[in-house]
Amino acid sequence: MIIFGWGKKGREVPLNPTQRLVMRYTYIHVFWLLTAAWGRQYHLATLTEQGWALRPVDDSEAAMMCGGEPPELSPWKQYSLPGALALLVVFTALSISLAG
C-alpha cells in the first residue's frame, strides 16, 4: 500500500485547437488526501509538425492568455499537508502544557 508519494503534475487550458496553456507544479501527498504543492510554472504549448513545442511564460502573460485569471491550484492542494502538520504541532504543545 502506498502511504505517501511525490511527483510533478500539470493542468492544461485549451486556448485554441493548436495552443494550450500548461501549468506544471511539484507536489507531495499523504494518502492522496493531504497535499502540498509548489513550483508552479506556466508554458505555452503550440502544436507543430514535430509535436508540441513548449515556451515558458510568466504569470502575467498566462493571465492575459486566460482572460485575466491563470489556472490556479486549490488552497487544499497547496496547503493541506502543511496545515495538518501545524495543527499536529499545536495540539501536541497544548497536550504537553496541560499535562505538566
Select the more confidently predicted residue: 24 or 2: 24
Whole-structure pTM value: 0.81
Q: Give the mean model confidence (pLDDT) for residues 78-92.
A: 94
Instruction: Characterise 42 by phi-psi region: left (phi > 0), alpha (psi -120 to 50), beta (else).
Output: beta
- Specify the pLDDT at position 80: 95
- Specify the pLDDT at position 67: 87
Domain boundaries, the chain: 4-99
Instruction: Give the position of cell 514535430.
Output: 50
Instruction: Characterise 39 by phi-psi region: left (phi > 0), alpha (psi -120 to 50), beta (else).
Output: left
> What are 30-74's pLDDT values in tens digits?
988 899 999 999 999 999 999 999 999 999 999 999 888 888 899
Kindly state the percentage of the chain with pLDDT values over 90.
80
- Specify the pLDDT at position 1: 57
Distance (Å, whole) CA 15 – CA 45: 10
- Specify the pLDDT at position 69: 83
Over 80: is that where the pLDDT of 24 sits?
yes
